[in-house]
Homo-oligomer: A and B are copies of this chain.
């Protein structure tokens, strides 16, 4: 199919939408060189067409009527950057039924309804791409589905939320409290007024569901992701972690063993030699371990207007290339497996825990006896006196143990009279592949 230009329609003109309009405008020559045809933003759906906006939108038509985008026969491709779930889903469904290709940056929608939308896209012979939904400007979904397509991937670990990574960096490097670091992040625009989705790990969970689906070719529901946020983290634990050679990160973790899956988002102590440990501030990175490739990592800006717009535009370019070759709707690969989640007996890891112990003869040996009986051994131990010697603060890092076994140990630990309190526990990740 030869065209002089391809017309696209936008749903939404917020942060990412404005970036897309800017890229289409400024990089028109490059796009024409790549594609052999131009790209034009024909119409944009907005709530209020009268609102003053920062960006030049040239000849583009603003409308508050969705059908001006969704039913325009000249528009081949709809870019959804409005966010939210129900309305976005309705529009995308309508676009697909009108045989329009769809590019979306909407992680919430794809995490919840990606598989059914993908199915509908395949049935209608159109492309549905969503590179921008995970990792902002990092081309991670293409990395998984094309670059590493021939490998059998075992593990994906991601720092996929910039807000929490910024907060943790400030806490660790500058000793700021969680509240102060959050406030600073809000001032800089890295955190929203209501930060719940970020700090409680929900945003990261959505991205991990999408990553796990593509990495392991399996169906993963958002409910399959176990989630714990960072709002309860204390500076004490961060300091102890540092003493032991760890950095605290909110890690999205997805692993497959014997076709069984675990996916979680949780605060995790990373060994300082792990490639993810040097990812700081608002940056994101996704670490991927494959049987053949070993360790790889993709690093970059996880959010922001222009970075996210580059990912949207990568999808737009892919759709248009398909359009010119008349092969749209052929690239989606259905998941190979129905996901089966691991039981706690099948999940393994190292754990850090901190407890207060009566500082009396034999107290510590009760702990070691208990763990011996459960066949759990220790990699690291740190002990500090507290309260004029009445209590000892003990930090222990276990060797690899099953989650089940570790939970039993915690329960029994709490029953010991010498144990005054189990303050905290976190997952620990070692050196990566080695």
Chain A interface residues toward B at CB < 8 A: 19, 23, 27, 30-31, 33-34, 131, 137-139, 142-143, 146-152, 217, 275, 278, 283, 290-301, 304, 306-307, 309-311, 313-314, 316-318, 321, 325, 327, 330-331, 333, 336
Contact = CB atoms under 8 A, between A and B. Distances in A.
Contact of A33 (B151, B299, B310, B333): B333
28 contacts: A27-B151, A30-B150, A33-B333, A34-B149, A34-B333, A137-B293, A138-B147, A138-B296, A142-B146, A143-B143, A146-B318, A148-B310, A150-B313, A150-B316, A150-B317, A151-B313, A290-B310, A292-B309, A294-B304, A296-B298, A296-B301, A297-B298, A297-B300, A298-B299, A321-B331, A325-B325, A325-B327, A327-B327
How many of these chains are in the complex? Answer: 2
A254 B31 CA distance: 22
Given A33-B336, A297-B299, A143 B149 contact: no
A292 B278 contact: no
A137 B151 CA distance: 10
A278 B271 CA distance: 13
Given A300-B297, A317-B149, A306 B292 contact: yes
B152 A27 contact: yes
Contacts of A299: 275, 295-299
Contacts of A296: 137-139, 298-301
A81 to B, nearest CB: 15
Contacts of A143: 139, 142-143, 147, 298
